[in-house]
Amino acid sequence: MSEFDANPFADPVEINPFQDPSVTQHTNTTQQGIDDFNPFTENSRLTPVASDTKVPAGPKTTPSQPAILQPTVEPAPQASASAAQLVLLRQQEELERKAAELDRKEQELKNENYNAKRNNWPPLPSFCPVKPCFYQDFAAEIPSGFQRTVKMLYYLWMFHAVTLFLNLLACLAEFIRDATYGVDFGLAILWFLLFTPCAFLCWYRPVYKAFRSDSSFNFFFFFFIFFCQIVLYVIQAIGIPNWGVSGWIAALSWTRTNLAVAIIMMVVATFFTLCAVLALFLMQRVHAIFRRSGASFQRAQEEFSQGVFSSPAVRSAAASAASAAAQSTFQGN
């Protein structure tokens, strides 16, 4: 009956859901943690807010420390000087080692060049006591465009030597037929022994060196000597009597006396004529190459002066002459 005693028109009792004991306890705890947190203190940044909730223990971590620059200790002056001296000694040893290595390699190259360019002309057998005097290699030393011209000059020199030898035989036949021609035979021997090596040294080797090193001086020297050689070929082809040559005049003079001697001398006269024609042709060819190469007389003079002053013999002679002149001047004073 008590249920009916209640006033049905009275205000119902307000039921606050936040008054629950569990909710109230949790709210108070959170509020207490917020009240204890101060954002302006350093400890609040590093330490977490105290709470009743326990966090499981893990591996301990140490807070990172700021980098601290260690003060540098400068070495003593004596230690620095000794270290620098050691570095210099090591560098000096390295330089000396490299210099010795370079000297060794240079000596090896010199030996290789000497062995590679050992004199090979004239081609004499190994048992011969006379050794070759010159080095000659067309493929290695002469440019490919000029090798044919240089070889033709070399063949002309060989033809020149053969012609002088045939001239000697013709003069010998003349001397056998008539003893009064002994002078011609003697001169023929002299021309063979003299003109054969002189032609090789005076006009063939200069033109060989001219094409090998593009030397204007050697070109001019060749032109001068070779022009004289052409004039000599013409004189030998004419065959002036009693000059030791079997030219056309000497050969025709024997047609009425001995036909065999006349034929031999005519063959020699033909060889001298061919030498003159070939020499004139090759001289024109070399001159054309010389003009295309851009050489000049001024360049030849410069090469000659450089070659003379770079010669040790010339320098020593000039020094001796200068010292003798200075001594004579002081003695005169």
Q: How confident is the model at residue 91 (pLDDT cuts 50, 70, 90)?
A: confident
Cβ atoms within 10 Å of 277's Cβ, excluding its own = 13
| Mean pLDDT value across the chain | 77
Question: How many whole angstroms separate alpha carbon 49 and alpha carbon 44?
Answer: 8
Q: Does 195 score more than 90 pLDDT?
A: yes
- Residues of the chain with pLDDT > 70: what percent? 62
Cβ atoms within 10 Å of 301's Cβ, excluding its own = 13
* Strand, helix or coil for residue 138: helix
Q: Which two tokens stand for residue 304?
A: 């000659």
Q: Does 50 score more than 90 pLDDT?
A: no
Q: How confident is the model at residue 55 (pLDDT cuts 50, 70, 90)?
A: very low
pLDDT score of 114 = 47
- Residues of the chain with pLDDT > 90: what percent? 40
306/137: higher pLDDT:
137
Most confident of the following: 76-80, 111-115, 327-331: 76-80
Q: Mind listing the pLDDT tens digit for each residue in 228-237?
A: 999 999 999 9
End-to-end Cα, the chain, rounded Å: 171
Q: How confident is the model at residue 56 (pLDDT cuts 50, 70, 90)?
A: very low
Q: Does 53 score more than 50 pLDDT?
A: no
pLDDT score of 52 = 46
Q: Which of 247, 209, 206 is nearest to 227 (CA)?
A: 206
pTM: predicted TM-score of the whole model, two decimal places: 0.60
| Location of structure tokens 């006396």 | 257
Question: How many whole angstroms separate alpha carbon 157 and alpha carbon 204?
Answer: 7
Question: How many whole angstroms separate alpha carbon 158 and alpha carbon 5?
Answer: 164
Q: Which two tokens stand for residue 241?
A: 């009597």
Q: Mind listing the pLDDT tens digit for each residue in 213-227?
A: 888 888 989 999 999
Q: How far is CA 276 from CA 104, 157, 220, 226, 269, in A?
A: 52, 12, 20, 11, 11
Q: How confident is the model at residue 189 (pLDDT cuts 50, 70, 90)?
A: very high
| Location of structure tokens 């033709």 | 152
